[in-house]
């Protein structure tokens, strides 16, 4: 996928900026700086598609980082993330991959570090869901200060016209199986993208379907 082929509104999504001192140390940047910027298009490219789950993961990262680093640029590799649930439960595995891609927090396969610094290994873990955590929820914790937030994602509360939702559901099977007509395929994409746009651009009632609280 090249940037030129993405939907135009994908480029309007607010990017996520982080400090990446490991990349700076190893000379990845041309200038003497350590800021790396992740765009929504990067998350789509990493996941291979755009959907409410990938969009939700991107927004969860963004909201958590804004809450934990209100007055500074977040540190990549400076967070531990707990996913409440198992990797094969719903979209949790996909969401965790987006988290790792953006924040650097990785499972046991992650980078072990250099000279006792910059380790990202074991900063992402899955745990059994808490009793009060029936929705997809996650804990983001700063390694330096210990400050933490819990992010709860309620995808079923994302505003979307009822009739559009029913039509989208009805088209899903035929489109995925390849039995849909070209016209039905275009209709499906239009509705699909409308829902994504409502999340990442309009952020309709985001406080009702994506909640961030101190943990």
- The DSSP code for 7 is -
Per DSSP, what are the bridge partners of residue 137?
152
Q: Report the pLDDT value the prediction gives residue 131, as an integer from 0 to 100.
A: 64
Give yes or no for a contact between 134 and 85, defined as CB atoms under 8 angstroms apart.
no
CA angle centred on 82, ends 39 and 72, rounded to 5°: 50
Provide the 10 A C-beta neighbour count for residue 161.
13
| Weakest mean pLDDT among 33-42, 75-84, 133-142, 157-166 | 133-142
Q: Report the pLDDT value the prediction gives residue 33, as an integer from 0 to 100.
A: 83
Provide the 10 A C-beta neighbour count for residue 61.
27
- DSSP code string of 76-125: TT-EEEEEES-TTSTTHHHHHHHHHHHH----TTS---BTTBS--TT-EE
Element (H, E) at 47: helix 40-47
Rounded Cα gap, residues 25 and 61, in angstroms: 25
**Domains of the chain, residue spans:** 3-159+206-214
Place of tokens 């490991």: 22
Task: Single out the residue of 2, 93, 71 nearest to residue 42, CA to CA.
Answer: 2
Task: Single out the residue of 74, 55, 62 nearest to residue 7, CA to CA.
Answer: 55
Rounded Cα gap, residues 96 and 83, in angstroms: 7
Q: Report the pLDDT value the prediction gives residue 30, as an integer from 0 to 100.
A: 86
Could you read off the pLDDT of 19-43 as tens digits, one per residue? Answer: 999 999 999 998 778 999 999 999 9
Could you read off the pLDDT of 132-144 as tens digits, one per residue? Answer: 677 799 999 999 9
Q: Report the pLDDT value the prediction gives residue 2, as an integer from 0 to 100.
A: 55
Query: Residue 4: is its pLDDT beyond 70?
Result: no
């Amino acid at each position: 996928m090249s940037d030129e082929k993405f939907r135009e509104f994908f480029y309007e999504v607010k990017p996520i900026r982080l400090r990446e001192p490991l990349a700076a140390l190893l000379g990845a940047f041309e200038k003497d700086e350590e800021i790396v910027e992740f765009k929504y298009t990067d998350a789509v490219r990493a996941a291979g598609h755009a959907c409410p789950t990938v969009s939700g993961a991107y927004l969860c990262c963004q909201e958590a980082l804004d809450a934990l680093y209100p007055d500074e640029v977040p540190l990549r590799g400076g967070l531990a993330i707990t996913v409440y649930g198992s990797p094969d439960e719903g979209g949790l595995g996909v969401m965790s991959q987006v988290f790792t891609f953006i924040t650097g927090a990785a499972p046991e396969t992650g980078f072990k570090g250099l000279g006792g610094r910059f380790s990202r290994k074991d900063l992402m873990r899955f745990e059994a869901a808490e009793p009060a955590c029936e929705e997809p929820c996650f804990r983001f914790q700063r390694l330096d200060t210990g400050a933490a937030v819990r992010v709860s994602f309620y995808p079923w509360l994302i505003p979307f016209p009822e009739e559009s939702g029913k039509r989208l559901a009805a088209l899903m099977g035929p489109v995925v199986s390849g039995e849909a007509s070209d016209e039905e395929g275009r209709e499906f994409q239009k509705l699909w993208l409308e829902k994504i746009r409502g999340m990442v651009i309009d952020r309709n009632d985001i406080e009702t379907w994506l909640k961030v609280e101190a943990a």
